[in-house]
Structure 1
Amino acid sequence: MTSGETAGPDPRESPGTVRDIVDPDTLALAEAAIDSPLTAAELCRVVGSRVRELRQALNMTMSAFATEAEISLGMLSKIEHGQSAPSLSTLVRLATTAKVPVTALFRGLDEEHDLVIVRAGEGHEIHHDRGGHDRLYQDLGALRGPNRVIEPMITTITEPGGVFPLYQHPGVEFLHVLEGSLYYGYGGKAYLLNTGDTMQIHGEVAHGPVELVELPIRFISIKVYPANEPRAPAGG
């Protein structure tokens, strides 16, 4: 470790802002680059990730990179693992060694991070062509992107009778019964699910409710799709 350089507390254990462990010059440079306040964990994580990516792009070992940057191997390891916030002088040496501007080490700090909150009873209602007034499908939302990775939904069944189609879709599905009980079909067999029971299945195998036992029935289902797969029809 070079003179004047301290690792500071592990950002994963510190709820404070970046001011707790980063010197004012580093703070000013980072916040000016992204025009946004930072947390210690965000700065350490992103700078560490960028340093590692740049070092690997140069096909340099950690030892060789640390030597050229004139910092200890231990300090470089802490930086790359997001456990230390480097001083401004260290940032300059890292950027010089990586042959990039210092601000390139902050790339990613200003990225948006989506958040979806659906309040109780406010899920988007889905009208299924084989549904009815006694069946309610509520989509619980999704993060933005070209493909839906996770599809959470609540299904409510309030009346007996009717025919339930079986569904198939890519990926896997997790079910949890919130209320009531039913037989749930999967691959030619039917399994009794009571309140509080869970079930995990492969989406490609035909599945769906086949017999209603205790009404009303409410269950949450979470589909998890493989990468780059389109979403399946609602209700499965």
Structure 2
Amino acid sequence: MTTETPPRLRLEQYLGMQIKRQRQAQELKLADVARIAGISQGMLSKIENAQVSTSLDTLSRLCDVLGMPMSKLFSQYDQPDGNAILVKAGDGMEVVRRGTEKGHTYHLLNHTRGPKKNFEAYMVSMDDASEEFPTFAHPGTEFLHLLEGELVYRHGNQLYHMQAGDSLTFDGDIPHGPEKLLQVPIRLLSVMNYGNE
């Protein structure tokens, strides 16, 4: 599975971005802010574009002009990095599930860091309409969203006719699985939530 982690901003980039955002949010011109802060327009442009490191005195004057406390300028720089996981289209790890045959694949769209796994997300692809499926049962709750195709899905003794755009949420402890593929190919997003047990 390929995941992407964006690079961390250098301090100069972060400060420049914050100053520029604040200036633009107030619809202030670069030239006006530079003049009031007592620096050249070129210098302010270089600060905003992280082309120079600047003194605390200059940053303090810019904060005064922009009406923001200096502490706010630095407040989010050292916050913990985000831990979002981006899986690009087609990069999900292929997983073999019990009873799956040719024409039926699961691509895992996430992996959970740390000792506790509280959910899994799969892109399920089915393209063999004659395939027979086992039933599955697992702890937690499952959410299905049908992106493409048409099928009948079994949950316990109930059958649900699903078309593209339909969603189904159910208790995973009760045996469930595709009953009949009516229109292939089928692409089904499956999210299993295991809770905090």
TM-score (norm 1): 0.52
The verdict on how the C-alpha distance between 1:21 and 1:197 changes in structure 2, with shifts beyond 3 A counting, is farther
What CA deviation, in whole Å up to 9, does each residue of 1:75-122 have, x standing for no partner?
xxxxxxxxxxxxxxxxxxxxxxxxxxxxxxxxxx64343110111111
Separation in 2, partners of 1:203, 1:133: 24
Please state if 1:159 is matched with 2:106.
Answer: no
Q: What is the match of residue 81 of structure 1?
A: none
For the structure 1 residues 146 and 112, does the alpha-carbon distance in structure 2 shift closer, same or farther, using more than 3 Å as the test? farther
Secondary structure at 1:222 match in 2:
strand
2:98 and 2:144 mapped to 1: Cα distance?
22
Could you list the per-position Cα deviations for residues 125-146 of structure 1 after superposition, in whole angstroms to 9, with x for gaps in the alignment?
Answer: 0123422221110000123121
Within 5 Å, which residues of 2 pair with 1:46-61? none
What are structure 1's unaligned runs of at least 5 residues? Answer: 1-14, 32-36, 40-108, 229-236
CA contact (8 A) 2:129 2:183 kept: no
Verify: 1:210 aligned to 2:143, yes or no: no
Q: Secondary structure at the match of 1:144?
A: coil
Alignment equivalent of 2:76, drawn from 38, 43, 48: 38
Provide the C-alpha distance between the structure 2 equivalents of 1:121 and 1:169, rounded to a whole number of angstroms. 26
Given that 1:141 and 1:152 are in contact with CA atoms closer than 8 Å, whether structure 2 keeps it comes out as yes
Identity of aligned residues (%): 29
Is the contact between residue 119 and residue 195 of structure 2 (CA under 8 Å) also seen in structure 1?
Answer: no
The aligned runs of 1:1-236 (5 Å cut-off) are 23-24=69-70, 26=71, 38=76, 110-228=79-197
Q: TM-score, normalised by structure 2?
A: 0.61
User: Measured at CA, do residues 22 and 121 of structure 1 come closer, stay the same or move farther in structure 2, by a change above 3 Å?
Assistant: same
Greater strand share, 1 or 2? Answer: 2
Q: Are 1:115 and 1:143, in contact at CA under 8 Å, matched by a contact in 2? A: no
Query: Aligned residues, how many?
Result: 136
Residue 23 of structure 1 deviates from its aligned partner by 3.1
SS of the residue aligned with 1:218? strand
Structure 1 residues 21 and 154: alpha-carbon distance in aligned structure 2, compared to 1, 3 A threshold: farther
Deviation at 1:148, TM superposition (A): 1.6
- Mapped partners of 1:220, 1:121: distance in 2: 13
SS in 1 for 2:185: strand
CA change 1:149–1:114 in 2 (3 A) is same
Structure that is richer in helix per residue: 1
Q: Deviations over 1:152-193 (max 9, x none)?
A: 111101112232111111211111111111110001121110
User: What's the RMSD between the two structures over aligned residues?
Assistant: 2.4
